[in-house]
Structure 1
């Protein structure tokens, strides 16, 4: 498992509200109150533009996220909390670990696990993190649904949470009585769902299961030259099925996905290196790019600048991609 890397995030007191726009990954991670984000991979230009709207209650935190998308990262939910997340709008493809996300789903996750999130385009979601020392009945029922999902019929929960965020945005800090009333409303709404539905277990085709396994294994072999044909042979899956499954899960062809991962590793290493210590050619070849013309074009399309410009920037990344997100020991020297 890739390592957890702590990031110092914004803190809120009970009753406080925060609205924060972000236009880069660093600001996105720092503004994620009590959430830990790390090991980020940019999949599209302007991938992390968006806004957070967060309301801190006595035993709950409501966090609305509107994000441009085209990003993958690992995350850990707020400590000592069970989180249920209402998918308000999933415009294209998105996954949390081994779960395909769709608009109208309510996904339950736990703070004791590192999750991987990937989205190919715009997403809106609302997370409610419940402290484990809070309502015992609600906690018990939610625990039974961890890593499963429910359906937000008629978008009842999504509408309620959206209205709460919008109504109390200009009323900060909230008084104790109002905060408790909000928590009661949310508790009743989610209990209504939990009492009338069985938790759904995510289902995948055989090809999608293999694709998810390949995705996990790719991080162990990022220094190798991998092709769709070699993956097809190694995992006994047809090239067509592999192509279709990658598109179904991530909205990308496997060649695009692998290239984007490697481009991110080059980017992170260039940002943390000095021109006197290495060259763009050396770093690109290290991560498997043999044709510098193609590499430079793909890099510039993704990051909006030539790789030589990145090398001269020398900015330390907060999540330390090379040290914390690549399992190949020889690549951490």
Structure 2
């Protein structure tokens, strides 16, 4: 659902940019409370994993494909504030390096794909986890539903923005019907990916799933046919260093992202995604503009001057994962360091 340049007029694009900038500012502030020594490096990994999975377009209807938006997955794994930042980092990398999503439309894309999906998904997920049994299966089911709803919600948000600032004269009712209809189907794929990923992380490290914390009774895991409480570290009885380490999870997640982006992406559907299909069918794309980074050596997820499509796409995917994990990790470590610094200052200046 990457909105290109030219779909939305300049005033509305600028307004969306202000909204997106405000959301990122709030996200930076809120992420200080969400990130700790264990989760800060994982947040960069989550951004890189979402980048990789977004390269895997899957068919959803005749001539149409879809891909992960990622807001629900990020919010559930690392928290809603950090989740907005994860999607913002992904969209920034895609826009600058790969000419995917317009540069003037970056604010629109962050608002639609980052802010709306994250808020809708996390609010719904938390509501469901409060009323459902605290089991791995129920938590995974809540992630499925939250992700499913977040995608048509993003389609609705785009339609509202288009109704205000669209550059072509298209009946908004037709746009709404087409956008929501196809993105409900895409939402099923989003929900499946999100539920599988969240379930996999819960199975090995439930303490690393932000959305599974602090919602009542301990999370239950089924081991050898019996339900047992998931392990959770407490300040009074810290877990052993080996148990607290995230290196194994980080390495496994990075390896998965590299394989998905570097190899599996070659087999992704070549059909236009939901927004592209609707734009072509409804005439929204009549005033689409060439991307400002169209001359990038990585434009369209290929490496310039490499003629082998498999190698070109694979290298581009690996470069994208690497760039995203480096930039994302840098951002989240900086946020974490700021929190640590503020905590030290408070202890130094506080009453004695």
TM-score norm. by structure 1 comes to 0.31
Considering Cα pairs closer than 8 Å and 6+ residues apart, tell me whether 1 or 2 has the greater RCO. 2
Structure whose residues are more often helix by fraction: 2
TM-score norm. by structure 2 comes to 0.30
Structure whose residues are more often strand by fraction: 1
